[in-house]
A and B are shown apart, each in its own frame.
Chain A
Amino acid sequence: MAAPMLRGVSPVRRWSLAWVDGGSRHRRTSPNGSTSNRIREQSSVAQQPLHTAQKPRKGGHKWAAVVGLEIHAQISSNSKLFSGSQVSFTAPPNSLVSFFDASLPGTLPVLNRRCVEAAVMTGLALNCRINKKSLFDRKHYFYADLPAGYQITQQRLPIAANGSLSYGVFVGNRWSHMATKTVRIKQIQLEQDSGKSLHDDLRSQTLIDLNRAGVGLLEVVMEPDLSCGEEAAAVVKELQLILQALGTSQANMAEGQLRVDANISVHHPGEPLGIRTEVKNLNSIRFLARAIDHEIQRQINELESGGEILNETRSFDPKLGCTVPMRDKEGKQDYRFMPEPNLPPLVLYDTASLPAGADSQQVINIDQIRDALPELPSATRKRLVQQYGMLPEHSFALLNEAGLLQFFQNVMKETRAEPKKVTSWVLNTLLGYLKHHNLAVSESPITPSALAGLLDLLDSKAISSSAAKQQV
């Protein structure tokens, strides 16, 4: 069931009408309250009545959950999106901040070429249409870690749109069979990151560090095609692998390089979509799956006992294992989008449209970037299955653990043993050992050569299987 996008209003008039005539055009009057993640930003008037879910018919009806993800990935670049300050995770507070990042008057944004290339690469990897012309906008809201009072983003015309991401899920009982599903990508846009605020409750103040302010982000907006926490986890994992393979982002959730917000609602199949809640503060893929499943269950319980779902933002508390309402956001936010007046449209070219004699530093050729794309995880897995005859599940497992694929390939280079045997040893014995001792592949005391040698001995029947296992 496709989620309809309520985008009836043309771009320019969206703002000019926003508050002058009370925003009646943009009120979310549709009962499909949970369809578009973007509608929240287009609606204006603060004093709207909170939408309530319709009372469901009790008894016997199945529930279906609808989950949509919004993912922010920090672009892996040397300098920030619109200024020349360095991008680094650890540095003394406010030392990587330029006058522009601090929003001092008179400073102007200058776009970083590498960030544009990263966005184009990611768009191509996710099968998106790359918009040859994209525009920058300002999204206004007040918060201490946003010195300018607005964030430069691409709301009207993003750099890439209408893509898809294929991912694998286990069907039936665990480890038995993998199926491929697809989630649609609505758009990918470039935007600025905000600074970091550290809350000092003791002295009732907030400390602001602007090192992160202005760092380039890729926002990947997905259609609400997912239905449970497991699917969401698989999608995020796959996106992580893609971004890491492209080199556009290190996508480490723990370090905040990949941030996921989930929009969740439940409804009975065939009936209109329910009210959605937004869940934030998801710091790892495991928490993501748990939080989504918990929120789905909470909504079902609430509705079945006759309650109603509020359109609110909730935060996942890992200690309690449940979602709790976040600080009150003062009703609907009106971001008052306006075109960024200091940036002309971003124009991209392909080989056919490239102007003759153009400065290669100043133009971006989409075809050139497409030709230079590295091998994507899905292609790697296909190759492994073809080359070594392994099961798809194993190819997924090899790629999911950082460094494991390289380890496997190193062993294959040095051993005579059959691929199936190597696969089994790497995935079961070695990985099991590492997990048991809480080690990463890079910390493995067993080197690929050692394992290769061991497998050779096993192959030549010099030692028995159990003895070999003991060695490990």
Chain B
Amino acid sequence: MAARAVWLAFRGGLGRRQAFSTKANVQVKARVAERTSPVTHALRFIPQGSGRITVEVIEHLERLALVDFGSREAVARLEKAVAFADRLREVDTDGVEPMESVLEDRCLYLRSDNVAEGNCAEELLQNSHRVMEEYFVAPPGNISLPKLVNKNPSYTAKW
């Protein structure tokens, strides 16, 4: 028993970054969201809205991005991530030209218009699960999302 207590403490000490599961505890702890908060400035935090994410928004996001917010914890994690990102709004950006990308000072290379690639149909088709006569095979119509049986996210963690 003592050994186990030491072991748990040791694991706890190593960092909340590591997910840990013991025979007794199979819950997977959230990793990123529980990381210690980053650089803190002497800025006032102005919370925007309640920070709750509604079921409609979740369904919409799942449809768009084809991800599965299967568990309540996942939603909570998402809410924390959004709150984390919201802190960007504390910075006063009036009159500041927005940055387009970290590459914005570089030169965009222009390629001359000649044929240099292609003719690798066999290699590409090997990647596909199903192939028919040099065509990739896809399900008919658009990629469909299975209908949600119940609107509430399930209680048990799926991953």
Contacts and interface: CB of A to CB of B under 8 A. Distances in A.
Interface string A198-231: 1111001111111000000000000000000000
Interface stretch (A86-94, A161-169, A296-304): A86-94
A83 B56 CA distance: 39
Contacts of B139: 144, 205-206
A330 B111 CA distance: 39
B112 interface: yes
Given A206-B137, A207-B135, A362-B107, A85 B118 contact: yes
A343 B138 contact: no
Contacts of A234: none
Interface stretch (B27-35, B119-127, B150-158): B119-127
Nearest to A45: B60
Interface stretch (B17-25, B38-46, B61-69): B61-69
B101 to A, nearest CB: 5
A47 B138 CA distance: 28
A314 to B, nearest CB: 18
Contacts of A197: 138
A361 to B, nearest CB: 7
Among A342, A343, A346, which residue has the most Cβ atoms of chain B within 10 A? A343
B107 A327 contact: no
Contacts of A364: 110
A114 interface: yes
A116 B138 CA distance: 33
A198 B57 CA distance: 33
B14 interface: no
B60 A47 contact: yes
A347 B105 CA distance: 11
A21 B49 contact: yes
Give the interface SS of chain B, mostly helix, strand, loop or mixed. Answer: loop
Interface residues of A, number: 68
Contacts of A84: 111, 114-118
Among B100, B103, B130, B142, which residue has the most Cβ atoms of chain A within 10 A? B100
B109 A114 contact: no
Contacts of B108: 111, 343-347
Interface of A: 10-12, 19-22, 45-47, 77-79, 83-86, 92-100, 102, 104, 110-116, 135, 140, 142-144, 197-201, 204-210, 327, 330, 334, 336, 339-347, 361-362, 364
Interface of B: 48-49, 56-57, 60-61, 63-64, 66, 82, 86, 98, 100-121, 124-125, 127, 130, 132-143
29 contacts: A12-B98, A19-B60, A20-B82, A46-B63, A85-B118, A86-B115, A86-B118, A94-B121, A95-B119, A96-B118, A99-B117, A110-B111, A111-B111, A112-B111, A113-B110, A199-B140, A205-B130, A205-B138, A208-B136, A208-B137, A336-B64, A340-B101, A343-B103, A343-B108, A344-B103, A344-B105, A345-B104, A345-B108, A362-B109
